[in-house]
């Protein structure tokens, strides 16, 4: 009874007791706080006394000594003015509360007092006033320690605040250390102990520490592994016993059902099966319904007989070969032979598979018989059909090859026509552009010729200085105009020649990208000036390519012509922007962007397809962008993509290598 009643009391005491963290923190807090409070108290009291003695009592004694000597003469001479001046000098000290001087008859000689009296402790110092060895009066000086006490209280508040901060920081650090170094590891160990108590032994108790808690964790982990090993061994033995018991039960049940199951499965199998005894003679022990149906023989008539006796094989040689294979290999697969029905009139093409097994020291031969007569006929028909199909496929392949060659030739002719058309437009534009500077030069030359003839006539009649100067000025001005026109024509011819040479051949060379773009724009200038559109080029001069300027020129020409043809409306003045920027040491990016109406989303994926155009019969062949795609991806070794945000035109972005791959052309 005592033991039973003491258990609730122990449990109640356990619930009322503090936790380890609370106990340690409370002890650490008291150990920090109590010494700090006691030390602070003694320091504060000692400091206050020292300050009062230093700043109040010592000055008060000095004032009393000085005044007692100073007022002695004033009292003897009954000179209140001098005494008052001395007292006023002392009263200038804010700590002085009152000064009282009385004569030998205890009547007030001089008295000064602060009104109202300040707060704080009042200290008093009294002196007898002695003159020539005789007592002539008495001096009382009172000072207050209020100012010192107020300053002390301020310092006290600061000290208290610093003490609180120090204790708080100490508590926080101790709390953090306890939590990190003790409580968390202990909680982790507690969780591990609970897992052990619940039998959860698959989770390791891992704690990499080199202190006592780490040693405890190692011990618990060792205990966990030992328990896991013991429990695993116990479970393994239990499982083995259960498996053995289950195996015995299954064996007993199987022994009772095996014969019935085998008979049912054997007889219900859709495959013709036979079981024979393999001894001196191969005799049939059993056949299933499928075998009886296949060969048209009654089961009772064939049991105990051999295949030869019941005249089952069309050729006895096939039977001999089958038995020889079984004797050598103990199994056979896919053996094809011709059997015969019961009446001997119908041939059955069978595929035989089987194996020799041993049961209770008795060799049994199990054979499966599959009628493949219809299958063989199907295979023969399929072979004939395949031969016919191969012939038809060859004929169709030849037709498609011819069509493909025709289509390829047509596409090549269209591409050549497209290039010739572009070249014709280019030549016409250059011819028109050359007409102006050459015409101007011809006019200037004829004018100079007339002026030279006129100058010759004037020379015969007599030449004046003014006439000579006029002739020289006219010659100089005409030469300037003539050189300008001829230089412009030469520049056009040079650019056209360079572009024509580049586009008529696939020559690889190092070229400045900005120069090539300038030459191409110069050749396209006559055609562009007939439109309301402007081309803006922003290509850095420091970008060089070791590539094929001809294919690049064709790409740029086709992209600009595509923008002029498709990007803008009839009355719209559009802009085409050419920009180039280095991507890294091996690649550059070149963009052709317009501010036109853009490309419909449904057409974005088809713009590079051959013969795709939205202006068939209106100047569009559908091959321009396909040529661009092939040149960029194959000849120039780069890539191209098109973006067309709604309302922002179309942008073709070319990613080109600085050094193009070698061309097979």
pLDDT digits (tens, 9 = 90+) for 561-588: 888 888 888 778 899 999 999 999 999 9
Name residue 96's beta-bridge partners: 143
Position 582 scores a pLDDT of: 94
Phi first, then psi, for residue 359 (nearest 5°) are -130, 120
Is the preceding peptide bond at 116 cis, omega within 30 degrees of 0?
yes
Question: Which among 19, 17, 24 has a CA at the least distance from the CA of 174?
Answer: 24
Position 588 scores a pLDDT of: 95
What does the pLDDT look like over 189-231, one tens digit per residue? 777 777 777 766 666 766 666 666 666 767 777 777 777 778 7
Buried b / exposed e along 540-558 (16+ C-beta atoms within 10 A): eeebebebbbbbbbbbbbb
More confident residue, 438 or 59: 59
Q: How many CB atoms lie under 10 A from the CB of residue 426?
A: 20
CB 213 within 8 A of CB 207: yes
CB 516 within 8 A of CB 552: yes
Average pLDDT over all residues of the chain:
77
Gap between the Cα atoms of 596 and 648, Å rounded = 7
Confidence of residue 1 (pLDDT cuts 50, 70, 90): very low
Confidence of residue 134 (pLDDT cuts 50, 70, 90): confident
Position 494 scores a pLDDT of: 57
Q: Identify the DSSP state of 625.
A: H
Residue 285 reports pLDDT greater than 60? yes
Phi first, then psi, for residue 659 (nearest 5°) are -120, 110
Specify the residue for token string 């094929």. 548
Position 505 scores a pLDDT of: 47
Gap between the Cα atoms of 126 and 130, Å rounded = 13
Buried b / exposed e along 570-584 (16+ C-beta atoms within 10 A): eeeebbbbbbbeeee
Position 487 scores a pLDDT of: 65
Collapsing DSSP states into helix, strand and coil, what is residue 105?
coil
Residue 391 reports pLDDT greater than 50? yes
Confidence of residue 13 (pLDDT cuts 50, 70, 90): low
| 228, 230, 236, 243, 252 from 239: Cα distances, Å | 16, 14, 5, 6, 20
CB 331 within 8 A of CB 408: no
- Pick from 149-158, 398-407, 634-643 the range whose average pLDDT is largest: 634-643
Residue 367 reports pLDDT greater than 80? yes
Q: Identify the DSSP state of 206.
A: -
Position 537 scores a pLDDT of: 93
Residue 410 reports pLDDT greater than 60? no
Confidence of residue 592 (pLDDT cuts 50, 70, 90): very high
Sign for the CA dihedral angle at 180, 181, 184, 188 comes to positive
Lowest mean pLDDT among 33-37, 359-363, 501-505: 501-505
Q: Identify the DSSP state of 280.
A: S
51 CB-contact burial (10 Å; exposed 0-12 / middle 13-18 / buried 19+): middle
| CB contact set of 196 (below 8 Å; sequence gap of 6+) | 220, 223, 224, 227
Position 665 scores a pLDDT of: 47
User: What integer is the mean pLDDT of 125-145?
Assistant: 83
CB 598 within 8 A of CB 648: yes
Position 650 scores a pLDDT of: 92
Q: What is the pTM of this model?
A: 0.34
Sign for the CA dihedral angle at 104, 106, 108, 114 comes to positive
At 514, list the tokens: 């900005």
Lowest mean pLDDT among 105-109, 460-464, 565-569: 460-464
User: What integer is the mean pLDDT of 518-532?
Assistant: 84
At 545, list the tokens: 């390519």
What does the pLDDT look like over 644-653, one tens digit per residue? 988 889 999 9
- Pick from 16-25, 214-223, 404-413 the range whose average pLDDT is largest: 214-223
Gap between the Cα atoms of 3 and 6, Å rounded = 5
Confidence of residue 97 (pLDDT cuts 50, 70, 90): confident
Position 633 scores a pLDDT of: 92
Residue 602 reports pLDDT greater than 60? yes
Position 4 scores a pLDDT of: 47
Residue 155 reports pLDDT greater than 50? yes
- Alpha carbon 134 to its chain centroid, in Å, reads 105
Residue 3 reports pLDDT greater than 90? no
> Hey, which bits of 558-662 come out as E strands?
575-582, 587-594, 639-643, 651-657
Confidence of residue 639 (pLDDT cuts 50, 70, 90): very high
User: What integer is the mean pLDDT of 475-498?
Assistant: 64
Question: Which among 543, 559, 541, 566 has a CA at the least distance from the CA of 620?
Answer: 566
Position 412 scores a pLDDT of: 59
- Residues of the chain with pLDDT > 90: what percent? 11
Residue 417 reports pLDDT greater than 70? no
Gap between the Cα atoms of 156 and 163, Å rounded = 10
- Residues of the chain with pLDDT > 70: what percent? 76
| CB contact set of 102 (below 8 Å; sequence gap of 6+) | 108, 109, 137, 138, 140
Q: Dihedral through CA 631, CA 636, CA 638, CA 640, nearest 10?
A: -30
DSSP for 35-66 reads HHHHHHHHHHHHHHHHHHIIIIIHHHHHHHHH
| 525, 574, 576, 641 from 531: Cα distances, Å | 10, 9, 12, 27
Specify the residue for token string 């939205």. 614
Confidence of residue 65 (pLDDT cuts 50, 70, 90): confident
Position 552 scores a pLDDT of: 92
Confidence of residue 516 (pLDDT cuts 50, 70, 90): very high
Q: Dihedral through CA 90, CA 91, CA 93, CA 94, nearest 10?
A: 160
Residue 628 reports pLDDT greater than 80? yes
Residue 429 reports pLDDT greater than 50? yes
Q: How many CB atoms lie under 10 A from the CB of residue 254?
A: 11
Residue 9 reports pLDDT greater than 60? no
User: What integer is the mean pLDDT of 39-68?
Assistant: 74
CB 654 within 8 A of CB 552: no
Confidence of residue 334 (pLDDT cuts 50, 70, 90): confident
Position 191 scores a pLDDT of: 73
């Amino acid at each position: 009874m005592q033991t039973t009643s003491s258990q609730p009391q122990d449990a109640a005491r356990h619930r009322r007791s503090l936790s380890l963290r609370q106990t340690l923190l409370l002890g650490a807090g008291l150990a920090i706080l109590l010494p700090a409070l006691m030390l602070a108290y003694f320091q504060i009291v000692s400091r206050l006394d020292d300050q009062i003695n230093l700043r109040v009592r010592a000055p008060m004694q000095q004032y009393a000594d000085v005044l007692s000597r100073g007022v002695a003469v004033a009292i003897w001479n009954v000179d209140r003015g001098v005494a008052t001046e001395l007292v006023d000098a002392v009263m200038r000290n804010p700590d002085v509360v009152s000064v009282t001087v009385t004569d030998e008859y205890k009547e007030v000689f001089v008295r000064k007092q602060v009104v109202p009296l300040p707060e704080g402790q009042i200290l008093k110092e009294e002196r007898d006033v002695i003159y020539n060895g005789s007592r002539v009066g008495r001096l009382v000086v009172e000072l207050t320690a209020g100012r010192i006490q107020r300053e002390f209280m301020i310092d006290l508040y600061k000290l208290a605040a610093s003490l609180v901060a120090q204790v708080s920081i100490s508590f926080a650090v101790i709390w953090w250390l306890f939590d990190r170094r003790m409580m968390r590891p202990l909680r982790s160990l507690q969780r591990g102990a609970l897992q052990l108590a619940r039998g959860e032994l698959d989770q390791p108790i891992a704690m990499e520490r080199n202190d006592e808690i780490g040693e405890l964790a190692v011990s618990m982990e060792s205990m966990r592994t030992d328990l896991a090993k013991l429990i695993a061994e116990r479970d393994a033995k239990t499982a083995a016993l259960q498996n053995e018991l289950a195996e015995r039960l299954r064996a007993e049940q199987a022994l009772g059902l095996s014969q019935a199951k085998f008979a049912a499965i054997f007889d219900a199998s859709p495959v013709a099966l036979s079981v024979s005894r393999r001894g001196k003679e191969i005799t049939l022990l059993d056949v299933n319904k499928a075998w009886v149906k296949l060969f048209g023989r009654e089961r009772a008539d064939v049991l105990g007989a051999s295949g030869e006796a019941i005249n089952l094989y069309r050729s006895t040689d096939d039977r001999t070969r089958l038995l020889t294979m079984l004797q050598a290999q103990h199994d056979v697969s896919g053996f094809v032979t011709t059997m015969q029905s019961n009446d001997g009139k119908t041939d059955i093409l069978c595929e035989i598979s089987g194996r020799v097994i041993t049961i209770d020291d008795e060799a049994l031969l199990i054979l499966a018989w599959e009628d493949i007569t219809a299958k063989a006929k199907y295979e023969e028909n399929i072979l004939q059909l395949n031969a016919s199909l191969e012939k038809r496929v060859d004929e169709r392949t030849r037709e498609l090859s011819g069509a493909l060659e025709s289509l390829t030739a047509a596409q090549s002719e269209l591409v050549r026509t497209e290039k010739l058309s572009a070249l014709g437009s280019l030549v016409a534009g250059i011819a028109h552009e050359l007409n102006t500077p050459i015409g101007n030069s011809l006019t200037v030359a004829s004018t100079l010729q007339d002026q030279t003839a006129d100058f010759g006539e004037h020379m015969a009649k007599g030449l004046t200085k003014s006439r000579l100067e006029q002739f020289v000025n006219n010659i100089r001005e005409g030469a300037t105009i003539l050189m300008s026109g001829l230089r412009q024509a030469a520049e056009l011819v040079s650019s056209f020649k360079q572009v024509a040479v580049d586009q008529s051949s696939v020559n690889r060379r190092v070229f400045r990208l900005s120069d090539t773009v300038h030459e191409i724009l110069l050749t396209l200038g006559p055609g562009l000036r007939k439109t309301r559109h402007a081309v803006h080029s922003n290509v850095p001069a420091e970008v060089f390519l070791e590539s094929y300027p001809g294919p690049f020129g064709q790409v740029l020409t086709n992209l600009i012509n595509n923008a002029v043809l498709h990007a803008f409306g009839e009355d719209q003045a559009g802009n085409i922007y050419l920009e180039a920027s280095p991507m890294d040491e091996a690649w550059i990016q070149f963009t052709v962007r317009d501010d036109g109406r853009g490309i419909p989303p449904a057409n974005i994926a088809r713009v590079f397809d051959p013969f795709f155009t939205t202006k068939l019969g209106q100047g569009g062949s559908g091959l321009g962008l396909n040529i661009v795609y092939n040149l960029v991806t194959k000849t120039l070794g780069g890539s191209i993509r098109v973006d067309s945000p709604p309302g922002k035109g179309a942008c073709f972005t070319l990613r080109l290598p600085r050094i193009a791959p070698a061309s097979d052309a």
